[in-house]
Structure 1
Amino acid sequence: MFTRRQMLASGSAAVALAALPVRAQGNADAAAMRLLDEIAEERLAEVPGLASSRGLDVGPRAALRGKLSDYSQAGAKRTAETLAARLKQLDGFAGADLSRETRRHVEVLRHAYRSGHEGLSFPYGRVSVGSWLNSPYVVIQNVGAFIDVPRLLDGSHKLENAQDADAYLARLGAFAGALDAETAWLQDATAKGVIPPAFLLDKALTQLRGLQGGDPAQKAFVTKLAKAYPDRGAAAAKIAAADIMPAVGRQIAALEAQRKVAGTDAGVWKLPDGEAYYRWALEAATTTKRTPDEVHAQGLDELKRYEAQMDALLRPLGYTKGSVGQRMAALGRDPRFTFPEGDEGRAQILALAQASIDKIRPQMHRAFGRQGGGVVEIRRIPEAEELGAAGAYGGAGSKDGSVTGKFWINLHSNSRWSKFALPTLAYHEAIPGHVWQGEYSFDLPLVRTLLHFNGFNEGWGLYAEQLGDELGMYEGDPVARLGYLQSMAFRAARLVVDTGLHAKRWDRAKAVAWFGEATGSPTEEVESEIDRYCSWAGQACGYKIGHSEINRLRDGAKRTLGARFDLRAFNDAVVGAGWMPLAVLDTVVAEHVAARQRG
């Protein structure tokens, strides 16, 4: 890898690519859009899983169906060179006469590529260009090919014909190489002193040993193919036994070597240039320039505001003693609001999540002028992934409907969920949250659908929870509304804990204790959350920062427009412009307000 100074100074790393003309004779808009189309195809070739997850691995892109991303250090270096070259081309449009929409597309892409290039200047860690998953660690409990590849094969790789089956086998055949590329990177990280805390390594090792154990022929990524195409089953089992499992063993050995010298310091401040890394990670996650101290203070202030609202609801229910967090913990233990363990409880959780979606769907016309399909399937996060996974995540499927939107939920332990929390979660992940939000992007240029901005995307997820409240989903049910307010308080507390770990040098025990006391969340959820913040520095701050910014802009639009303000038009303008940095959202809303003023 380049040194950080070399990376930031470079722009000549791919001179030949940078020299490609960006402004052919004629219309600047057309030239810009041609460049954006080139970049979209380049991104799909670099991250073939994106093509599969969006149903784009057909026709001229069919070859992508049998490929995986490059998990090597050399691949990261090539990505950095490409970003530098493309940034030169994009910067060339700074003074061009572009339409408003095209200029927005260019600026969104410039932001994503600048951020990714800066992240790749650090000589360690995983950088997902135009996405949310950035980590200082190449492999850990929620980062790595051991998670990515089975998820891709299970959730996005279709098996509709023999060609699909052969492509599936090709991806299985490439899995071991992806693991070994990471293992080599892990060994380099160890030599540089970039070692995760012991408690994260213990979790990752548990997951990898679980993947390694048992009959390779019975692994889910083998049985899926064997059931659909029995004639390919033996080949898949052979790849798993002869190639994948030994590669898993080599990765386990590399992590065990790290574990022998690992400490317990939780934050990235301990890494080489760690404070600078966190400033970058925080900016990448929030798409703002806010400092750790500013983010920390905002979290404390907003938490107090939500606690006051929760206190007012808890007292009439008889919960009057202890902190708000302690009272919410007591509410969460009430048998009326818990689920039994085992498959019976899992079925109840999935049913309540579906019922919540069904309840809000008919109200979407009150919040949006444009009505999306909201096609969503609720699925359990794969068991092999659950231990290190987030509580839930979701997103839209493909424009042609061949891939359905997904709302994934972690059912490792049913105790992490309460009946009063599930509706809010469904609104966040599905409708009007990430699934609904993602479908608006179908009409955007392809490259825009491949970019994810954490602050905007997760800010919208929280805003979707707020819309659930504003559309009356909790009306007459103070306990359900407490679930919504607890979710908001939870995200405010994240601002405090993430900055506490990485900027203020909190240890894990302090973070777990503070977060549990502040939110009243179950212990398993709290510990899982804290571990997530340790490995995805900054990411958890995007939610509340983005949510607060959307509301700031909405309040400003209301003040300016008065009677001309229309909630449906505002929401359409915000979500319809696609995922973007928050600075670009500011411009989008300003343009919307000006258009409404003109009538």
Structure 2
Amino acid sequence: MRRPSGSIIAAPALACVLACAPAGPFTPALAREVAAATTGAASEVQANNLRRLFADDAGREEALDPLSALYRGDIADTAALARIYTAGLEREQLASAHRSRDALAGIRRAALSPDLQISYDVFAALKDEELASLRPEVRALTAVRPFNHFGGLHVEFPSLVAPGGVIAYEDEQDYQAALALYRVFPRMLDNAILRFREGLASGVVDPRLTVENMIGQIDAILARSGPESPFLQSLAQFPDAVPQSARPALRAAFASAVDGEVTPAYRRLRAFLAEEYLPSARDNVGLSQMKGGRDLYRLLIRRETTLPLEPDAVHRLGLSEVARIRRKMEGVQRELGASGDLDLFFDRLRDDPRFHPKSARQLAQGFARIGTEVDAALPRFFAQGPAAPLAIEPYPAYRARYEAGGSYAEGDPERRRPGVFFYNTYDLSHRFLSGMTTLYLHEAVPGHHLQISLARANAQLPPFQRYGDNSAFVEGWALYAETLGYDMGLYTDPLQHWGTLDDEMLRAMRLVVDTGIHAQGWSRAQAIDYMLANSGMGRSDAESEVDRYIATPAQALSYKIGALTFQRLRDKARRQLGDRFDIRGFHEAVLGSGALPLPVLETVVDRWIAARTER
């Protein structure tokens, strides 16, 4: 007969209680003591089973996701990297997710501590999402489009292997590790070509726009040859730990790897995209116009927002938010000394040189000043600051044209690699001074850098929480962080107040435009026109934003959906706690468990409210 879970370990604890109890009748007090010991032992069994499952899953995931390990800066398993973009690897990933989800079903959630219940819920949500995304019918629509112009190994690899990337370049072993990556990189690109070809055969292909942008990116990489090549920059200055006698051989090996393997691999990819793939690429840009795309878009909305939202409902929410923010903009417009039609003011912002940076130096100095101001205000809102240093840098030249106004790349304190807030100096006449404060708050502190560095530093969390990056939480938090600029006093300048409204408008427009493109058949031109009609953003920014939504459907929805959730939960806590509400405590609660699915985040906040209500 099968024993109930935990009974084998619980029995000795029960025996100990009975054996150690004084002789006498079995009283109610003793019964409670026995019950508590039995329950405690059973709970520990469930907790240990859950921790073992987490460790087992992490080991399997590490082996089955070498690309993530590479991005984290871990030692690369080149044999595993050679399997990137292959169907065999995806089948193993699906089997692993099934194994973990089945094992989780055998663990009694109610027997776990509150913190472990949160981990249980996050793990369940992650595995359910993996199972949904790895279904063969879904992979037939996604795996055959392995990367695009907005993100992918083809454009990110140069930054990964350049100084300041994932390799420390502190000794000869680091240089050999880079060479190993150079040698496996062509295999990864060739695998991607094979997957693209599968899509050609099945009729599942990317839009022409995305393909043309990828070709442009490859051209920009290939144009940087010789000492300017990102693949040779590590040779410019060797560390003392690399012997003089070893340096000539390393230079020769790097030149051979770049000229004989890396560069030809890029040329093969470019030739394939330009000569085979582009002629069959889609002229339309929306998922609803791609084979199987309508159902895929719903799945992507669920993945990116962690909520079961319908495209039409998201579209209506976006229209409502756009109207609300426009009303606020009209008030700030008057503070800036302008009256009349808001659309005309948008045009004035685009054309008036006073609103645009004159040099890259002006941007660098401005972001440094904003960082100092934020650091001074931070203790009023957070009990703990970032757990890692931050660098502020412009995008490398080969990336800038295809990037947004700014972004964040996390660092690695163990390798003395800081987090980096990148800002864009391409096409300065169309960048805006007004958006500097809100951009810093989003990408740096208290946005991405603070949230991500605190999660990474929390060794008590399971790896999937510590390194989790679900977009609804991470991007939702960063947009919420922008709103803290009001209480920090950073938007008293009407120009910076306009800037944060303009950025909030951007995230509201995303709800309209993303769903418009992928569910309602909008064209690229229609999407760009809508963004220009409802914000002061420059045309180049609007174009790059729309091209991003085309390449990464539903991801842009996560910002506003997540931020509205953070704001709603904060208002809920303030309303229920009254004078007992503490903003530092609220922020500590929402950031203390890593990046959570939004339904789990609500559970965390409800528990935090309940704990303070009972005091």
Residues 29-50 of structure 1: per-residue CA shift (max 9 Å, x gap): 1221122123233333344454
Aligned to 1:149: 157
Match runs of 1:214-363 below 5 Å: 215=225, 218-225=228-235, 227-228=237-238, 230-231=247-248, 232-256=250-274, 257-323=276-342, 325-340=343-358, 345-363=359-377
Q: Which amino acid aligns with 1:338?
A: H
Match of 1:557, SS? helix
Match of 1:529, SS? helix
| Whole-angstrom distance in 1 between the partners of 2:452 and 2:478 | 11
Match of 1:220, SS? coil
Match of 2:556, SS? helix
Aligned to 1:436: 450
Contact 1:108 1:580 in 2 (8 A): yes
Q: Please tell me whether residue 455 in structure 1 is matched to residue 472 in structure 2.
A: yes
Which consecutive unaligned segments of at least 5 residues does structure 1 have?
1-20, 128-133
Match runs of 1:579-598 below 5 Å: 579-598=595-614
Aligned to 1:34: 52
Deviation at 1:96, TM superposition (A): 5.7
Q: Please tell me whether residue 393 in structure 1 is matched to residue 401 in structure 2.
A: no
Deviation at 1:570, TM superposition (A): 0.7
Aligned to 1:18: none
What is the aligned-residue RMSD (CA, Å)? 2.5
Match runs of 1:146-185 below 5 Å: 146-154=154-162, 155-185=165-195
Contact 1:49 1:152 in 2 (8 A): no
Residues 85-126 of structure 1: per-residue CA shift (max 9 Å, x gap): 222222322546111111211221221222122122255669
| Whole-angstrom distance in 2 between the partners of 1:320 and 1:103 | 55
Q: Please tell me whether residue 196 in structure 1 is matched to residue 206 in structure 2.
A: yes
Aligned to 1:11: none
1:481 pairs, out of 497, 505, 524, with 497
Residues 202-248 of structure 1: per-residue CA shift (max 9 Å, x gap): 11111112323453664212222454364422212211111122222
Rate the CA distance shift 1:135–1:270 in 2: closer, same or farther, 3 A. Answer: farther
- Give aligned-pair identity as a percent: 30
Aligned to 1:445: 462
Rate the CA distance shift 1:144–1:152 in 2: closer, same or farther, 3 A. Answer: same
Q: Which amino acid aligns with 2:488?
A: L
Moved more, 369-378 or 538-547: 369-378
Q: Which amino acid aligns with 1:119?
A: S
Residues 357-381 of structure 1: per-residue CA shift (max 9 Å, x gap): 1111111111112333452111233
Rate the CA distance shift 1:214–1:407 in 2: closer, same or farther, 3 A. Answer: closer
Q: Which amino acid aligns with 2:610?
A: A
Rate the CA distance shift 1:474–1:48 in 2: closer, same or farther, 3 A. Answer: same
Aligned to 1:492: 508
Rate the CA distance shift 1:169–1:594 in 2: closer, same or farther, 3 A. Answer: same
Q: Which amino acid aligns with 1:576?
A: G
Rate the CA distance shift 1:387–1:559 in 2: closer, same or farther, 3 A. Answer: same
Match of 2:420, SS? strand
| Whole-angstrom distance in 1 between the partners of 2:452 and 2:606 | 22
Moved more, 466-475 or 499-508: 466-475
Rate the CA distance shift 1:255–1:338 in 2: closer, same or farther, 3 A. Answer: same
Q: Which has the bigger relative contact order, CA under 8 A and spacing at least 6?
A: 1
Aligned to 2:12: none
Q: How many residues align?
A: 562
**TM-score (structure 1 length as normaliser):** 0.88
Deviation at 1:177, TM superposition (A): 0.7
Moved more, 445-454 or 372-381: 372-381
Aligned to 2:18: none
Deviation at 1:512, TM superposition (A): 0.8
Aligned to 2:570: 554
Q: Which amino acid aligns with 2:301?
A: L
Deviation at 1:266, TM superposition (A): 0.9
Aligned to 2:549: 533
Q: Please tell me whether residue 80 in structure 1 is matched to residue 94 in structure 2.
A: yes
Contact 1:386 1:411 in 2 (8 A): yes
Deviation at 1:408, TM superposition (A): 2.0
| Whole-angstrom distance in 2 between the partners of 1:576 and 1:332 | 41
Aligned to 2:417: 403
* The structure with more radius of gyration: 2
Deviation at 1:164, TM superposition (A): 1.2
Rate the CA distance shift 1:537–1:162 in 2: closer, same or farther, 3 A. Answer: same
